[in-house]
Amino acid sequence: MKVAQFASFGSPAKVIECVKVPDLNDPKGNEVLLDVVACPINPADVLNIEGRYGVTPNLPARLGAECVARVKKVGSAVDDFKEGDIVLPLDRENWVQQKIVSDKNLILLPSNVDPLQLSMLKVNPATAYLMLKKYVSLKEGDWLIQDAANSGVGHCIISLAKLEGIKTINVVRRKGLADELKNIGANIVLEDSENLAEEVRDLTNAANIKLAIDAVGGNQVLRLGDCLAEEATILNYGLLSGKNIEMTSYQTVFKRLILTGFWLMPWLQNMSREKVFELYNHLAALIDKNILYVPIEKTYNLEEIRKAVAHSAGYNRSGKIILTPNGPF
């Protein structure tokens, strides 16, 4: 079978490669053999290849934080899954054609939902949901502001906030995205600028904004902080700019802004198995109802992994890049 892996850190398009490895044996006991159907390329994957992620893997390393898969065979002790079932594996290393997983680490998914959308279930929707629910108590009519609003997480935040009646200010880096984001429920879409705070005050009638969600870092956080009310929270979950966060003493001392970070991995590790299953079943139902939807720009097979990661790292994408390790379905 084929897998994508890298043996040294560096430019993703140069160090990642598709290699052949021995086929897997049949599953035993509570093991399940899976055919990987689709897996997205996330910013965390790119950071991992570059050696800039929070956890450094042992080399050579296989990546892929999430995927959707089809059950091929089950072990003799497996009762809850059968051949052909569509499942969400809760482990990693998903840029492969096949894998063996314990049945305890699988969630059964609806079989009539677009598997490309289901392939993005584990990371982006869960990140958006937990950031909205676990940090600041927002009620119907409240505002939040986010950057990278056209990202996968950004789309999910807009859709989930709309469900709760929470209004969103969505900051983007290029023109032409307003219609797309407003179609899924964005209230305000603004191109980033030095006048961001003034524009936000004018358009929201100087609303008391208590939450900013940041994926960019750098001086973007300065501009988000200027849009916020006193004692508001800035929640950082990414570093798309590649630069350290910037804030002023005025923001931290006199406005008493709270800066904190979000990383999905420890959240999932600290949740009970029942709560994890409950979370993903809830989010899968929202995908099934088309409430959560992330645009997809292009799919690639595993042999095109270098093209895929280079495309994923580009700034002008209009959707996710998805790998289909076993070809189109």
Q: CA-to-CA distance for 143 and 157, rounded, in angstroms?
A: 12
Q: CA-to-CA distance for 54 and 183, rounded, in angstroms?
A: 35
Coil, helix or strand at residue 219: coil
Sheet hosting strand 233-236, strand order edge to edge: 188-191, 167-172, 143-146, 211-214, 233-236, 258-261
Q: What is the largest CA-CA distance in the chain?
A: 64
Burial class, 51, CB count within 10 angstroms (exposed 0-12 / middle 13-18 / buried 19+): middle
Peptide bond into 60 cis (omega under 30): yes
| Residue 150 CA: distances (Å) to CA of 4, 54, 119, 177 | 27, 24, 18, 7
State how beta strands 98-102 and 211-214 pair. Answer: unpaired
- The residues carrying an active-site annotation are 53
Beta bridge partners of 31: 102
Please name the residue ranges forming H helices in 97-195: 115-118, 124-133, 152-164, 178-183
CA-nearest of 77, 78, 88 to 111 is 88
| Residue 180 CA: distances (Å) to CA of 40, 118, 168, 175 | 21, 21, 14, 11
